[in-house]
Amino acid sequence: MNEIKICVLGSEGVGKSALVVRFLTRRFIGEYSSSSECIYRKRVSVDGRQVNLELYDPCSQPCDGRPSLNDQILWADGFVVVYDISDHSSFITAKALVHLIRQVHLGTTKRDVDSLIFLVGNKQDLCHLREVGREEAQRLAAESHCHFYELSAAEHYQEVALIFTKMMQNACLDSKAKERRRRPSGSKSKSMVKLINNVFGKRRKSV
């Protein structure tokens, strides 16, 4: 795999841009434009392998030419689904997004993307305003077989970097597994052809 596409989804203001910018620049800036969508491109090393990372941060405001949610989901290999721990409605949206991603991929690409969905509770620094319990989010992650992290883009760099790194590693493993699944059947059919040729070749000789 030479390319990994990650889409960051979640309701308005949960900190999607903050997470992406934190990962790419190590900085927390505070205010980000929400009227434009961005695809960030970066060449990264994943377990010693060079890959092109594309990170999609969609805009929450309606804007011209914005791809539909389904198209965004089909475009991506992996998903960071973000909610704000101090806003329960954002968790409900995250839950719906996790279910939608699984449905869309299982229905259209027949891909099991469970290992490539990361549910992320952001704004952990606002725990005095917490509306979403850790256990509630852990339950959703367990039911949906996806990964779960809680962090603060404002305060943590290492945790943010870990999420994106793990996601890229999983995407590479997923593509390797796919290649392996394809290869044995290819070599099996090749050896089957060889076997058939041998059998018929021998018969022809004996005639």
Residues that bind ligand GTP (CB under 6 A): 10, 12-18, 30-32, 34, 59-60, 122-123, 125-126, 152-154
Question: Token pair of 97, please?
Answer: 């997004």
Cβ neighbourhood burial of 21 (10 Å; 0-12, 13-18, 19+): buried
Least distance to ligand GTP from the beta carbon of 33, Å?
A: 8
What's the rounded Cα separation, in Å, for the pair 30 and 88? Answer: 22
Q: Which is nearer to ligand GTP, 93 or 144 (CB)?
A: 93
CB 132 within 8 A of CB 88: yes
Shortest separation between residue 186's beta carbon and ligand GTP, angstroms: 43
- Nearest residue to the partner ligand GTP, using Cβ: 34
* Shortest CB 175 distance to ligand GTP, Å: 28
Please report the DSSP string for 66-86 in residue order.
PPPHHHHHHH-SEEEEEEETT
Nearer CB in complex with ligand GTP: 12/47: 12
Helix (H, G, I), strand (E, B) or coil at 58: coil
Token pair in block for residue 56: 């999609």
Report, in Å, the least distance between residue 96 CB and ligand GTP: 16
Q: Between 74 and 154, name the residue whose CB sits nearer to ligand GTP.
A: 154
Tell me the β-bridge partners of 147. 118
Please identify, using beta-carbon distances, which residue of 162 and 173 lies nearer to ligand GTP.
162
